[in-house]
Amino acid sequence: MARQTDGERGDARPRARDERRTWLTRGRARTALHESGTEPDPRFTLANERTLLAWNRTALALIGGGLAAGKLLEFSSTAGRLLVALPPIVLGTLLALVSLRRWEANQRALRLQQPLPIGGLARLLAGGLVIIALVFAVIVVVDVLAR
Amino acid sequence: MYSLDEEWDPGVAVERTALAWERSGLSMIVVAAIALATAAERGQTWAIVIAGLVALAGAHSWGHGRFSYRTRQPIARVRPQPRALWLLAVETLTAAGLALAMMLLPPG
């Protein structure tokens, strides 16, 4: 078996035969989640799960909001409708994907009793919302000026 | 492993997580309802079907939280459930795909 350094612990560990690499962990060879570390306090596991579910609700709110905005706001041009509907939907999609990756990274850190990784999820949300708000502001200004 | 009593859950963490599942399910149902209304207006059958599936997925998540989430499982035995979370992500991505398709494709 090839010896493999686990990037988190810095010690060599033989690669498990059934080591799984999913797209979530691509780019960094990892042991399967249930094989690394020990089971953490269940309250932490549940807290991690609730965090993922909260991100999931945020994603769904953005998806629903984008869909509703595209449907309800009347635009003469398709471009306007897309400009309003697409950014929230895309942001929601990104949140749904990245939050799952974050869940796994958190769970791994809990199992290894390491500090939780910081990640850029909150920044993604904040940045995305700023962009969406600016796009909406521009659309409103353009709409008012065009009348 | 840890010194918790089997059932000692003073923060009612299991119930709070079950409620979080319910909220996720409800959010998904709302998105499905918006898509359903739009699709019905436009007469897009394919969108109606997919929206119906998303609504069912949301109802499943809600029901999971309401009725079956870790019922009678002592908190000390809680283990992560990555597959359930993956499934939820797939359902959310389906809802997103549906929303994108409805916005990108012309009505009718």
pLDDT, one tens digit for every residue, chain A (147 residues): 444 444 444 445 554 444 454 555 554 556 778 778 899 999 999 999 999 999 999 999 999 999 999 887 766 667 788 888 999 999 999 999 999 999 999 999 999 999 999 889 999 999 999 999 999 899 888 888 887
CB contact under 8 A, B93 and A85: no
Q: How far is B96 from chain A (nearest CA, A)?
A: 6
What percentage of residues in chain B have a pLDDT greater than 90? 63
Question: How many residue pairs bridge chain A and chain B with CB atoms within 8 Å of each other?
Answer: 119
| The pLDDT value given to residue A4 | 43
Closest Cβ opposite residue A60 in set B20, B28, B38: B28
Average pLDDT, chain B: 89
Which candidate from A33, A38, A59 shows the least CB-CB separation from B92? A59
Contact residues on chain B for A107, CB-CB shorter than 8 A? 80, 82
pLDDT of residue A7: 45
Q: What pLDDT, on the 0 to 100 scale, is given for residue B35?
A: 96
* Residue pair B26/B63 in contact by the 8 Å Cβ criterion: no
Q: What are phi and psi of B74, to 5 degrees?
A: -65, 145
pLDDT of residue B72: 60
Phi-psi region of A20 (alpha: psi -120 to 50; beta: other; left: phi over 0): beta
Cβ of A53 within 8 Å of Cβ of B20? The answer is: yes
Residue B69 predicted with pLDDT over 70: yes
Burial class (CB in 10 A: 0-12, 13-18, 19+), A77: exposed
Average pLDDT for B80-86: 93
Note the residue count of chain A.
147
Judged by DSSP in three states, A17 sits in coil
d(CA B59, CA B75): 25
Gap from A79 CA to chain B (nearest CA, Å): 10
Q: Which two tokens stand for residue A52?
A: 């993922």
Provide the b/e sequence for B25-63 (b: ≥16 CB within 10 Å).
Answer: bbbbbbbbebbbebbeebebeebbebbeebbebbebbbe
Which amino acid type is present at position A86? L
* Contact status of B55 with chain A (Cβ, < 8 Å): no
The pLDDT tens digits for A26-59 are 545 567 787 788 999 999 999 999 999 999 999 9
Residues of A at the B interface, defined by Cβ within 8 angstroms: 33, 38-39, 41-43, 45-50, 52-54, 56-57, 59-61, 63-64, 66-68, 70-71, 78, 81-82, 85-86, 89-90, 92-93, 96-97, 100, 103-104, 107
Residue of A33, A58, A67 best to disrupt the B interface, most CBs of B under 10 A: A67
- Report CB contact under 8 Å: B103, A45: no
CA B100 – CA B86 distance, rounded (Å): 21
Q: What is the pLDDT of residues B2-23, one digit of tens each?
A: 555 667 777 788 999 999 999 9
Q: Look at residue A74 in the predicted model and tell me its pLDDT.
A: 63
